[in-house]
């Protein structure tokens, strides 16, 4: 197995530790879910988990939900409902969408608000190590005190600030020593939910949440940490800084794996821009297999453009694959040999999760079955097709 590691900017051999792989994926902030960009991201990790298990690894898959966040509070005010009710409703909607897409349930699906003590413990350690400071009830990470900060994103200080500002940083916060310092604990504001802390009532910052949850379930070193590539900076950069300095253990993550963005109507598909293709809408017209085949026909690391008309072409392909899997197997003559396609499928996924090639080889197996002579023995080929289709998360339901 070889995976591209964002930290080293290279495709590297990936080996499990004692046969076990711990995977943490940054999940949704639950409002206006689930769009095709979400599906592309989380189904890529779904295939990764399925494939690693197929290879014989024991996988612990952790995904979080950011159920307290500036965006949650803003959206709840706009909709006139309680922030925690919004989080519950949208999280349930997201999980239903992923189930409808035949995604595996994570082994641990965890909410930020259930891990406040773990977050505070990290913050306390960083204050003791003089990498964080308290100001008027808030706690900030001191970027200047960390010479390694920036090793994941490879951004200069001047490049970091505008990106951070675009993603929630408040550069003119009067409590900060430096505009790029990021908040780990935010002092209480009127009308916002709060938790008790050693620094007074408040709520956690965005970055500390994932550090705490990842380490709670997978320990101080995570084998694979994933998310969209818009999280490289500041979110994952800040996670590294907090985690490695709080525990003294390096690396925090062995392989950083990021999924590219999906464009739609001339811009990145996103909740903030409102240019969304909702998975639930797509599934009213097409099967989950057709949707997944369309998504998996794009490599996880390459940005691409979602086109409404293109999924139409995948519906008959999904139907053909399902038909091939259940085609009557009467023949007992020469066995249909699809080993070459099977090997190419496995090699493709082993080569940085190359799902476009894997999809092509799966189609080739289905086509070979459907055009095989009546007397051919297709049973082994069908078993192979079903097994490989399962790695891609297909249901083979036959629905178009």
Concatenated DSSP letters of 202-217 = EEE-HHHHHHHHHHHH
What's the sign of the alpha-carbon dihedral 79, 81, 82, 84? negative
Q: Is residue 62 part of a domain?
A: yes
Q: Is residue 204 part of a domain?
A: yes
Q: What gap in Å lies between CA 309 and CA 322, rounded to an integer?
A: 22
**DSSP secondary-structure letter at 376?**
S
Position 68 scores a pLDDT of 94
* Segment 41-88, tens digit of pLDDT: 999 999 999 999 999 999 999 999 999 999 999 999 999 999 999 999
Q: In whole angstroms, what is the distance from residue 63 CA to residue 91 CA?
A: 12
Position 330 confidence tier, pLDDT thresholds 50, 70, 90 = confident
Final residue of a domain: which of 228, 263, 298? 263
Is 396 a residue whose pLDDT tops 70? yes
- Count of Cβ atoms closer than 10 Å to residue 5 Cβ: 18
Quote the Cα angle for 357-358-361, to 5°: 85
Residue given tokens 């990842």 in the structure block = 214
Residue 293 domain flag: no
Q: Is residue 307 situated within a structural domain?
A: no
Contacts by 380-386, CB closer than 8 A, 24 or more apart: 380/335, 380/336, 380/338, 381/335, 381/336, 381/337, 381/338, 382/324, 382/325, 382/326, 382/327, 382/329, 384/338, 384/342, 385/321, 385/324, 385/325, 385/338, 386/325
Q: Where residue 161 falls among pLDDT bands split at 50, 70, 90?
A: very high
Q: Are 92 and 86 in contact (CB under 8 A)?
A: no
Mean pLDDT value across the chain = 95
Q: Residue written as tokens 């913050």?
A: 123
Q: Would you state the pLDDT for residue 271?
A: 66
User: CATH number of the domain that 381 lies in?
Assistant: 1.20.120
DSSP label at 113? Answer: G
Note the pLDDT tens digit of each residue in 187-231.
999 999 999 999 999 999 999 999 999 999 999 999 999 999 999
pLDDT of residue 272: 67
* Predicted local confidence at residue 389, as pLDDT: 98
Same domain, 129 and 194: yes
Q: First vs last Cα of the chain: how many Å apart?
A: 33
Tokens, residue 161: 């600030």
What is residue 331's predicted lDDT score, i.e. its pLDDT? 82
**Residues 176 and 91 both lie in one domain:** yes
Residue 275 has pLDDT above 70, yes or no: yes
Residue 281 lies in a domain: no
Residue the block writes with tokens 């821009």: 273
The answer to whether residues 193 and 108 belong to one domain is yes
Coil, strand, or helix at residue 2?
Answer: strand
Is there a domain that residue 400 lies in?
Answer: no
Backbone angles phi, psi at 83, to 5 degrees: -60, -40
CATH of the domain at 25: 3.40.50.620
CA dihedral 371, 376, 378, 379 (to 10 degrees): 160
Residues 257 and 340 in one domain: no
| Cis, bond preceding 251 (omega within 30 deg of 0) | yes
Residue 91 has pLDDT above 70, yes or no: yes
CA 307 – CA 178 distance, rounded (Å) = 43
Nearest to 25 by CA among 88, 104, 100: 104
Q: Is 216 a member of any domain?
A: yes
Do residues 258 and 316 share a domain? no
Phi, psi of 114, deg, nearest 5: -90, 5
298: in domain: no
Could you report the per-residue pLDDT of 276-327, keeping only the tens digit for each?
A: 899 999 999 999 999 999 999 999 999 999 999 999 999 999 999 999 999 9
Q: Among residues 203, 232, 263, which one ends one of the domains?
A: 263
CB 137 within 8 A of CB 187: yes
- Please tell me whether residues 258 and 323 are part of one structural domain: no
Predicted confidence (pLDDT) per residue in 109-130, tens digit: 999 999 999 999 999 999 999 9
182 and 245 share one domain: yes
Q: Tell me, yes or no, whether 194 and 330 share the same domain.
A: no
Answer yes or no: is pLDDT of 265 > 90: no
pLDDT category at 140 given cuts 50, 70, 90 is very high
Averaged pLDDT for residues 336-351: 98
Rg (CA), the chain: 23
Does residue 314 contact residue 131 with C-beta atoms inside 8 Å?
A: no
Same domain, 191 and 128: yes
Given the structure tokens 């080996």, which residue do they identify? 15
What is the pLDDT at residue 312?
95
Is the peptide bond preceding residue 34 cis, with omega within 30 degrees of 0?
Answer: yes
Q: Residues with Cβ < 8 Å from 226, sequence gap 6 or more?
A: 23, 24, 25, 26, 44, 45, 48, 256, 257, 258, 259
pTM value? 0.96
Query: Does 324 share its domain with 256?
Result: no
Query: In this structure, are 64 and 208 located in the same domain?
Result: yes
> In which domain, by residue range, is 377 found?
312-391
Residues 241 and 325 in one domain: no
Q: In what order do the strands lie in the sheet with 20-25?
A: 108-111, 58-65, 20-25, 222-228, 253-259
Could you tell me where the beta strands, DSSP code E, fall in the chain? 2-5, 10-13, 20-25, 58-65, 108-111, 132-135, 138-141, 182-187, 202-204, 222-228, 253-259, 262-264, 267-268, 304-305
- Give me the number of domains the chain comprises: 2
């Amino acid at each position: 197995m070889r995976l591209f590691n964002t930290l080293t900017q290279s495709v590297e051999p990936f080996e499990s530790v004692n046969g076990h792989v711990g995977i943490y994926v940054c999940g949704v902030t639950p409002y206006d879910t689930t769009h095709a960009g979400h599906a592309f991201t989380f189904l890529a990790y779904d295939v990764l988990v399925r494939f690693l298990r197929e290879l014989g690894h024991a996988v612990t898959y952790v995904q979080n939900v950011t159920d307290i966040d500036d965006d949650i509070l803003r959206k709840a005010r706009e909709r006139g409902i309680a922030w925690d009710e919004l989080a519950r409703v949208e999280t349930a909607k997201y999980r239903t969408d992923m189930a409808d897409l035949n995604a595996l349930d994570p082994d641990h699906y965890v909410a930020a608000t259930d891990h406040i003590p773990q977050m505070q413990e990290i913050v306390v350690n960083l204050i003791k190590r003089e990498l964080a400071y308290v100001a008027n009830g808030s706690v900030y990470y001191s970027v200047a005190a960390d010479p390694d900060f920036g090793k994941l994103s490879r951004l200069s200080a001047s490049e970091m600030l505008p990106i951070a500002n675009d993603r929630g940083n408040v550069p003119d916060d009067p409590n900060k020593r430096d505009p790029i310092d990021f908040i780990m604990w935010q002092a209480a504001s009127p009308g916002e939910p709060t938790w008790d802390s050693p620094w007074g009532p408040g709520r956690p910052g965005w970055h500390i949440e994932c550090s705490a949850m990842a380490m709670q379930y997978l320990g101080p070193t995570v084998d694979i940490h994933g998310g969209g590539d818009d999280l490289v900076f500041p979110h994952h950069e800040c996670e590294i800084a907090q985690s490695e300095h709080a525990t003294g253990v390096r690396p925090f993550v062995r392989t950083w794996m990021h999924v590219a963005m999906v464009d739609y109507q001339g811009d990145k598909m996103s909740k903030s821009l409102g240019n969304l293709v909702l998975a639930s809408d797509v599934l009213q017209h097409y099967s989950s297999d057709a949707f997944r085949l369309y998504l998996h026909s794009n490599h996880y690391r390459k940005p691409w453009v979602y086109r409404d008309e293109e999924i139409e072409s995948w519906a008959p392909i999904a139907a053909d694959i399902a038909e091939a899997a259940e085609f009557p197997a009467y023949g007992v003559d020469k066995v249909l040999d699809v080993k070459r396609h099977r090997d190419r499928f496995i090699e493709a996924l082993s080569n940085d999760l190359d799902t476009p090639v894997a999809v092509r080889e799966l189609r080739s197996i289905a086509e070979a079955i459907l055009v095989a002579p009546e007397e051919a023995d297709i049973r082994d080929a069908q078993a192979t097709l079903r097994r490989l289709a399962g790695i891609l998360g297909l249901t083979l339901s036959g629905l178009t």
